[in-house]
Structure formats: C-alpha cells, structure tokens
Chains A and B, each alone.
Chain A
Amino acid sequence: MVDWRLFDPLIEYARKRSMWIVAFCTGCGGIEMPPLATARYDFERFGIMPNPAPRMADLFLITGYVTPKTLKRIIITYEMQPDPKYVLAHGSCPLNGGIYWDAYNAIKHLDKYIPVDVAIAGCMPRPEAVMDGIQKMMELIETGKADGWKRYRENYEYYRKNQDELFGEGWRERTARMWIPWLMKGNNRGEE
C-alpha cells in the first residue's frame, strides 16, 4: 500500500495555491470582486479562479450582508461544495450585522449558520484587505487550521438547530415548493 500521508505537503500546497471561488456575490461586496479579478489586483496569480458552479468551488466569499432569503441559498450552496471548503466572510455585515444591527431582515452572526474560517472587517474592505484575507487563508490551509468543513461535519446539530430556529423545520422542502401553487394558478389563468 502507498502511504498517502507522504504526499500531504504536496496536497496542502496544491489546495493552497488553487482555490476556486464560487461566484456568489451578496450585498455591496459584490462590487469589490471584479477589481480583484482584473488587471490591477490580479488574484489569478495565486491560482484563484472565479467559477459559477458550486460543485467545483473551494473558497466561498460571503461578500456582504446576508438576508434570511439569501442565507437559505448560501447554506444550500455551501453544502453542495465537495469537502475541503473554506469560507471567507468579507465586510462588517456578516460579522455582526454592521450598519444593519437593528434590521429585522439581516443576519447578525453568520458564524451561527455556517462555519467561517477568515473574516475581514471593513465597510467595504479595500481589495488589498481582501488580498490580505486570502493570504491569511493560505497560511491557515498550509498549517491545517482552516477546518471549517470539519467543524460543520462534527457540529452539524448545532448549525442545523440554528438554521431551523431561523427558518422553521423543513425549510428546504418549503422553499423548493414555494412557487408551485403560484405556477398552477398562472396556468389556470392562461387556460381561461
């Protein structure tokens, strides 16, 4: 048998140098992403590639305030990613609500619903700051401390409880079926 642990440094290096981002732009921070990817602050230097499909992604940038409606999609996208996956929360809003501290419709602590590995403060952070966060994330991956995906697996009850508290039990099915009555009604009207 080959001892796969021998290759661990190589694998860690590859994971660190080729983080693919799932292009999920929430909130104002979405506007800070294109400058990162284009000519001035080019993050492809570090092998980062924006990718529209969650199945191929490793790095999940939460780029701003999260409403409950978005949080459902964020959780589903997060769970679709294969396993070594990292979350970088970006801006003050995912940390503690930021300027939306008294909004009825913004999530105050993202960390209660999905595990966050690195957080960057700022409203909104400069691309340099995001680069700094990415650098930090690389360090954590290299030392094996970016273990949000392990925490999510081990403490799934905790995260699940918080999610259910917010949305109510069975929210996945309810969200999926949300449009069916509306569509049926539309069809009937079309026939009349």
Chain B
Amino acid sequence: MIETALKVLFILLYATFVGFMFMGIIRIVTARIHRRVGPPIYQPILDTIKLLSKESNITHGFIYDFGILYAVGATILAVMFIPLGSIGVLRAYGDLILITFLLEIPMLGIMFAAMSSGNPWAGIGAQRALLTLLAIQVPLGFAVIALAEYYGTFSTYEIVMAQQISGWSIAHFPLLLAAIAYDLVLQAMFGKEPFDIMIAPGEISLGPMVEFGGKHMGLLNIQHAIALFAETLFFSNIFLGGGVVTAFSSPVLNTIAGLLVLLVKQIAVLLVATFMAAIFPRFTIDQAAKFYWKWPTIIAALGAILASL
C-alpha cells in the first residue's frame, strides 16, 4: 500500500518536473530557431510560482473552478495508466482506448471553465477547440486500430513488451504509417502551431485561456506540463519501444536506465513537434478539419488495412 503511494508520488513529481523542463526546452528551441537567446530552461517554473502567488483572483462560479481541477485530475490519472519504464501503478489496466480518451478529457475540463466565464472570446475558442478535438478523432482512431490489429492486444504494457522482441513499432511499415498520422495528431494535442487554432494567440486573444488569471492559470500551467509529459510518454511507449532495460543486474540501475532511455525518446518526439511548430503558420479551423479528415486519415487507414492483412 505504502509502496504504491510512494510510486504515485514519485510519478507525479517526476512528471511535473520533467514536463516543466519540456516547456522550457520548447521555448529555448523556438528562440534559437529565431536566433534569439531565449529564457532559461526553468522559466516555466518561475511563471507558475508567480501565477500561484497572485494576490487577487477572480472566479466566475463553481464550474469555473471545478473545470480546472477536473482537467488537472484527468491528466494525473492519464499519467498513472501509462507505463513509465518499469514503474507503473495501473499499467496493467492501461489500454490504448482508455489512455487516448483520458488524454482528451482535460480539454473538456478547460472548455467547461472557459464557457462558464461568459467571455465571448472564450466561447469562440471553446468552439474551435471542440471542432479540432472532433477532427483528430478519425486519424487517432485508425492509428489505435492499426496498433491493436498488429499486436492483437489493446494493453499498452503488452505492446511495449512485444516491441522488446520484435523491434520498434515504427520499424514495421503499417505501424510507421500509423505513427506518422499520430504525430500529426500530436501537434493538435500539444496545441502547437499548425493546429493551435483553439488557443490562437493574437487571432482570438487567447481563446479559452483568455479569462484565466492568477491561480487558475498556475494550475493550468501544471496541467500543461503533465499533459506534455503524458502525451510524449504515450507516443514513445507505443511507437518507439518504451523504456524497458534489462542490461544491468540490479533492478534500480535498470529502472534509472529505462527512465533515461524514455527521456531521450520523449525529447525526440518533442523536438519534432517544436520544429514543425516553428516553421508552419496556423491553419484556419475549416482547413484544419479538412486536413485531418483527409491526409492523416488516409495514411492511418492505409496503415490499419495493411496491419490487418
């Protein structure tokens, strides 16, 4: 019991810290692409401390507070289901559909909060976010089906174990197609540039985030950090072979090595997303919906068909 509680605490702290570092890495890499110096890597932590220490806070009622907590809670739950190397609390139950679903729940929480603020910009942002969420479901569904068809299981942990024997998922052609589609979907899940239509800084103020200030925004920052961690972790688990290392004799060393291997894979996923975000301008919402229902869907469907042959 106590061991499980310690594990939960460790995963939570690790995910938050690494997530904040990821946010810092995104900002630094974007700055370097623009030939700027950029902020220090721990900048998101300072931002969060500042936001949490604001002395006046506004609230627009119960749902406004609850939506944020709901988003944070759902993200934490998602992290618990994803196998983190050889550490994992609920990894035996973490099947693909559940995790994909849990990674989208936070968006709904943010939407609740944004809609209850009554700000018209937040309303427009929520509408765009829900349309994006709707559009990414199709390629996402095909990618999940391709994986399940290929490995014959929905369990994330078993997929990681199967990759230990048969090589990374992206080494197989049908799954490579699924991975490409999933990577395009990740861009929208991160809220990064070609598909950051729901936040759209400058276009619709800040979309759903426009009314959040002070402690609400601080909590959302934490949620964003954990979500970044969870999404990259899920991608590296199902497509890049996860982080199970059995090279050393002691289990502690194996665990640490597994975490490091995972970290490298997660950063690779993150960098691809950052590079894409830095060079592509934003789509309008109708273009994004059309795009997701066209190319990623075709690619992922092809992958699913090839995987089931």
Interface residues of A (CB under 8 A from B): 10-11, 13-15, 17-18, 20, 38-39, 42, 44-47, 51-53, 55-56, 58, 81-84
Partner of A17, one of B46, B201, B212: B46
Q: How far is the CA of A84 from the CA of B40 in the complex (A)?
A: 23
Q: How far is the CA of A13 from the CA of B205 in the complex (A)?
A: 28
Partner of A39, one of B34, B55, B211: B34
Q: How far is the CA of A38 from the CA of B50 in the complex (A)?
A: 24
Q: Which residues of B contact A17 (CB under 8 A)?
A: 43, 46
B36/A56 in contact, CB under 8 A:
no
Partner of A84, one of B47, B54, B201: B54
Interface residues of B (CB under 8 A from A): 27, 31, 34-40, 43, 46-47, 49-51, 53-58, 201-202, 205-206, 209-214, 217
Q: How far is the CA of A82 from the CA of B216 in the complex (A)?
A: 11
B36/A38 in contact, CB under 8 A:
yes
Min CB gap A53→B, angstroms: 4
Check A45/B205 contact, CB under 8 A, given A55-B210, A56-B217.
Answer: no
Min CB gap A85→B, angstroms: 9
Q: How far is the CA of A53 from the CA of B202 in the complex (A)?
A: 9
A56/B46 in contact, CB under 8 A:
no
Partner of A83, one of B55, B202, B206: B55
Q: Which residues of B contact A39 (CB under 8 A)?
A: 34-36
Check A45/B50 contact, CB under 8 A, given A53-B206, A82-B58.
Answer: no
Q: Which residues of A contact B54 (CB under 8 A)?
A: 82-84
Min CB gap A81→B, angstroms: 7
Q: Which residues of A contact B34 (CB under 8 A)?
A: 38-39
Q: How far is the CA of A122 from the CA of B94 in the complex (A)?
A: 62
Q: Which residues of B contact A44 (CB under 8 A)?
A: 27, 31, 36-39
B49/A14 in contact, CB under 8 A:
yes
Q: Which residues of A contact B213 (CB under 8 A)?
A: 53, 55-56, 81-82
B46/A84 in contact, CB under 8 A:
no
Min CB gap B55→A, angstroms: 4
Q: How far is the CA of A83 from the CA of B51 in the complex (A)?
A: 10
A52/B205 in contact, CB under 8 A:
yes
A51/B206 in contact, CB under 8 A:
yes
Q: Which residues of A contact B50 (CB under 8 A)?
A: 11, 14-15, 18, 58
A83/B46 in contact, CB under 8 A:
no
Closest B residue to A58 by CB, please name it. B50
A83/B47 in contact, CB under 8 A:
no
B38/A83 in contact, CB under 8 A:
no
Check A11/B209 contact, CB under 8 A, given A44-B27, A45-B38, A84-B55.
Answer: no
Closest B residue to A15 by CB, please name it. B50
Min CB gap B166→A, angstroms: 45
Min CB gap B122→A, angstroms: 10
Min CB gap B35→A, angstroms: 4
Q: How far is the CA of A17 from the CA of B47 in the complex (A)?
A: 8
Pick the 7 closest A-B CB pairs, nearest first: A55-B213, A83-B56, A14-B49, A83-B55, A42-B36, A82-B214, A14-B50
B46/A18 in contact, CB under 8 A:
yes
Q: How far is the CA of A46 from the CA of B40 in the complex (A)?
A: 8
Q: How far is the CA of A42 from the CA of B36 in the complex (A)?
A: 6
A56/B212 in contact, CB under 8 A:
yes
Q: Which residues of A contact B40 (CB under 8 A)?
A: 47
Q: Which residues of B contact A15 (CB under 8 A)?
A: 50, 53
Min CB gap B107→A, angstroms: 19
Known pairs A18-B43, A45-B37, A84-B54 / 7 extra A-B pairs, C-beta < 8 Å: A18-B46, A39-B35, A42-B36, A53-B205, A53-B213, A56-B212, A81-B213
Q: Which residues of B contact A58 (CB under 8 A)?
A: 50
Closest A residue to B121 by CB, please name it. A53
B47/A18 in contact, CB under 8 A:
yes
- Chain B CB count within 10 A is highest, among A15, A42, A51, A53, for A53
Q: How far is the CA of A46 from the CA of B205 in the complex (A)?
A: 23
Ordered by A's residue number, 24 sampled pairs between the chains whose C-beta atoms are within 8 Å are A10-B49, A13-B46, A14-B46, A14-B47, A14-B49, A14-B50, A17-B43, A17-B46, A39-B35, A39-B36, A42-B37, A44-B36, A44-B38, A45-B37, A53-B206, A53-B210, A55-B214, A56-B51, A56-B217, A58-B50, A82-B213, A82-B214, A83-B56, A84-B53
